[in-house]
Structure 1
Amino acid sequence: MTPVTVDVTTYDDLLARARAGALGPDPAARRISAAFTTRQAVRHAGRGTGYRNEVLSLRLAEAVGSCAVEPGALPDSAVEDCVGADVARLLEHPLPPVRVAALDAYLMHVTPHLPDHGAEAVPLPAGTSLEKSRARARAVVELLDLPSGATVLVVGVVNSLLEALRSRGLGYVPCDLKGGATEWGEAVVTDALAAADRCDALLVSGMTLGNGTFEPLRRLALRQGKQLVTFAQTGSAVLPRLLGSGVSAVCAEPYPFFWLDGGAGTVHRYRAGRPGGAR
């Protein structure tokens, strides 16, 4: 399947083009064969705090698209709404996470994570949950092109990412809608846009696609000329399409995620300007 190359500049533009069939085959002719949620709670050995995840995933042929949500936020009816539905209908679903997961599945089907599409495969070794979390964090942080002493706004707090930033001599401002504190007792801010002015770059979770906070961050990065690197379990096939339109690099991690399996895995890195990119 040869993807159609169409320049897009915003998430909403990408969604509209997909609905119109401008990015590949008619979405009304593609149906979701399986819909499921993945729920987990984790506390890595040696860490004092844990976290919970909930992810909606949709299977389209060989592809799986996903969108993370706050635990308990997704109604049980969402899965029943999605299974057997055509992609075009789900791209207009009233729930934003369903739209994101449907778009992710469609784009994964059209443009899988392959070198011809600009993807660099980075292996994650087998190991404990903490070992794999740290390996993933190193793969993400290596995408930041910053001198020691620079400060990064981290939107979507992952303690292993903060640890990896410190190991490179980078400062950070942790930000999450839930607030709270990091593993090391640092206050987590809740207003990303307010904190961005005092940071040199943005490191942003793909989960922002589903909760509606991504676009303001993308526009800010574009306007201020700051790097915006995303770590994407949510929208792993969506965010590479926005490279060069405010997104400078993506670490894409499609389902199954590193926290689901102790075996070896793979993440896929994209950089703006790389030949064959997923635009």
Structure 2
Amino acid sequence: MTAVTGMARTTTFETYASYDELVARVRAGELGPDPATQRIAVAFTTRQAVRHDGRGTGYRNEVLSLRLAGAVGSCAVEPGALPDRAVEECVGANVAHLLEHPLLPVRVSALDAYLMHVAPHTPRNGALPVPLPAGTSLEKSRARAKAVVALLDLPTDATVLVVGVVNSLLEELRSRGLSYAPCDLKGGLTEWGEAVATDALAEAGRCDALLVSGMTLGNGSFEPLRRHALAHGKRLVMFAQTGSAVLPRFLGHGVSAVCAEPYPFFWLDGGPGTVHRYGGPWPAACPEGGR
């Protein structure tokens, strides 16, 4: 077993050099129970549209989630991209079967559910819990952004590639004096009128560190970014609603830190919540503070 030491805690699970290697080990039953014996009891999608008070732009989310015993694995998709049949195909299916499903988001959700089941986000597994205070969607978004950006640990002259534009993350980077290059497949403009690039790998060369959404697992762009960070010795921090239990498995192999946020996500209600950080210091407190 490979133990990966972060700044404050050591994981108790093995980490992997590539996504394909991790999937192969799961399929072989080397990380826990045979995935062919593990059946998905519930499959569902969560859809939302939001426009925070005081913000000039809004956004939409759609997430596929699969429940395995007490664990929920999730993968975000572009709104409208997931066919309705996908949910029905997942219910009652075993994890091994779903790891071979033709749709990548289904495969990622199944992998996430399995890994959440065998190694949940606990201090024993290297997770450092950060409480999110109750509040409005914007207040909770800003609180999460502080927990995420703190993992970058960069000098103020650094430039960060941000893959998956979240305005609260950009706002937090700005407050810390950090420059950034926003990138998202949808393109467009940020809240501050900055052009959003659509080719993350093309922008990565001019950046000192990478701050990347877990959604890259579901669209196939994670591995090239991980390999870039590893080859160039750059810090790669993942913020993960998609694949929150998957991404910590790449710590030390290109991924420097993960802010894992399993279902239910911060935007679903106004009560307190928790995110789980890997590869960073235990925070003294979570400052008060979506997208």
TM-score, with length taken from structure 1: 0.95
User: Which residue is 2:117 aligned to?
Assistant: 109
Deviations 1:122-157 (A, max 9, x none): 000000000000000000000001001211000000
Q: Distance in 1 between matches of 2:141 and 2:261?
A: 12
Q: Distance in 2 between matches of 1:68 and 1:193?
A: 20
* CA 256–273 in structure 1, closer or farther in 2 if over 3 Å, else same: closer
214, 221, 225: which is aligned to 1:213? 221
Q: Distance in 2 between matches of 1:218 and 1:117?
A: 22
Runs of 4+ in structure 1 off by over 3 angstroms are 3-7
Structure 2 unaligned segments of length 5 or more: list them. 1-10, 283-291
* CA 4–172 in structure 1, closer or farther in 2 if over 3 Å, else same: closer
Is the Cα contact below 8 Å between 1:6 and 1:22 reproduced in 2? no
User: Which residue is 2:37 aligned to?
Assistant: 29
Given the alignment of the two structures, is residue 192 of structure 1 paired with residue 200 of structure 2, yes or no?
Answer: yes
SS of 1:262's partner is: coil
Given the alignment of the two structures, is residue 144 of structure 1 paired with residue 152 of structure 2, yes or no?
Answer: yes
Given the alignment of the two structures, is residue 268 of structure 1 paired with residue 281 of structure 2, yes or no?
Answer: no
CA positional deviation for 1:4: 8.8
Written as runs of structure 1 = structure 2, the 5 A alignment for 1:80-159 is: 80-159=88-167
* CA 268–6 in structure 1, closer or farther in 2 if over 3 Å, else same: closer
Query: Of the two structures, which has the highest relative contact order with CA contacts closer than 8 Å and spacing of 6 or more?
Result: 2
SS of 2:113's partner is: helix
Given the alignment of the two structures, is residue 64 of structure 1 paired with residue 56 of structure 2, yes or no?
Answer: no
User: Which residue is 1:178 aligned to?
Assistant: 186
Structure 1 unaligned segments of length 5 or more: list them. 275-279
Q: Distance in 2 between matches of 1:191 and 1:4?
A: 35
User: Which residue is 1:277 aligned to?
Assistant: none
Deviations 1:137-183 (A, max 9, x none): 00000000100121100000000000000111100000001110001
Is the Cα contact below 8 Å between 2:12 and 2:124 reproduced in 1? no
Identity %: 80
Structure 2 letter corresponding to 1:261: D
User: Which residue is 2:249 aligned to?
Assistant: 241
Q: Distance in 2 between matches of 1:161 and 1:236?
A: 18
Deviations 1:61-113 (A, max 9, x none): 00000000000000000000001110110011110000000000000000000
Q: Distance in 1 between matches of 2:71 and 2:150?
A: 27
Q: Distance in 2 between matches of 1:199 and 1:150?
A: 8
Q: Distance in 1 between matches of 2:23 and 2:81?
A: 22
Is the Cα contact below 8 Å between 2:14 and 2:249 reproduced in 1? no
TM-score, with length taken from structure 2: 0.91
User: Which residue is 1:39 aligned to?
Assistant: 47
User: Which residue is 1:257 aligned to?
Assistant: 265
Q: How many residues align?
A: 272
SS of 2:130's partner is: strand
Q: Distance in 2 between matches of 1:257 and 1:15?
A: 25
